[in-house]
Amino acid sequence: MLNKILHLSTNKWFWIAFFALGISFEVIALVYQYALNYMPCVLCIHTRIWALAMILVSILGMILYKSKKGVLFAQFLMTIVTAGMFERAYQLLGTERGFLMGGCSMDSGLPAWFALDEWLPLMFKVWEPCGYTPELLFGVTMAEALIVLSFVLLIVNLLLTVTLAARQFIKNG
* Tens-digit pLDDT profile for residues 17-56: 999 999 999 999 999 999 998 888 888 899 999 999 999 9
Query: Could you tell me the CA-to-CA distances from 83 to 16, 138, 173 in Å, in that order?
Result: 20, 27, 28
Homologous superfamily, domain 2-172: DsbB-like (1.20.1550.10)
Give φ, ψ of 141 to 5 degrees. Answer: -85, 165
Asked if 57 contacts 81 with a C-beta cutoff of 8 angstroms, the reply is yes
Beta-carbon contacts of residue 96 (< 8 Å; ≥ 6 apart): 130, 131, 132, 133, 141, 143
* Tens-digit pLDDT profile for residues 104-133: 777 777 788 888 888 988 888 888 877 778
Task: Sort 2 into a burial class: Cβ within 10 Å, 0-12 / 13-18 / 19+.
Answer: exposed
- Which amino acid appears at position 138 of this protein? F
What dihedral do alpha carbons 9, 13, 14, 17 form, nearest 10°?
Answer: 170
pLDDT, mean over the chain: 86
Residue 6 has pLDDT above 90, yes or no: no
Closest CA to 102 of 111, 88, 91, 89: 91
Domain positions in the chain are: 2-172
Task: Sort 85 into a burial class: Cβ within 10 Å, 0-12 / 13-18 / 19+.
Answer: buried
Predicted TM-score (pTM) of this structure: 0.88
Average pLDDT for residues 56-70, to the nearest whole number?
Answer: 92
Q: Can you say whether residue 111 is alpha, beta or left, with left for phi > 0 and alpha for psi between -120 and 50 degrees?
A: beta
Percent of the chain with pLDDT over 90: 40
Residue 155 has pLDDT above 90, yes or no: yes
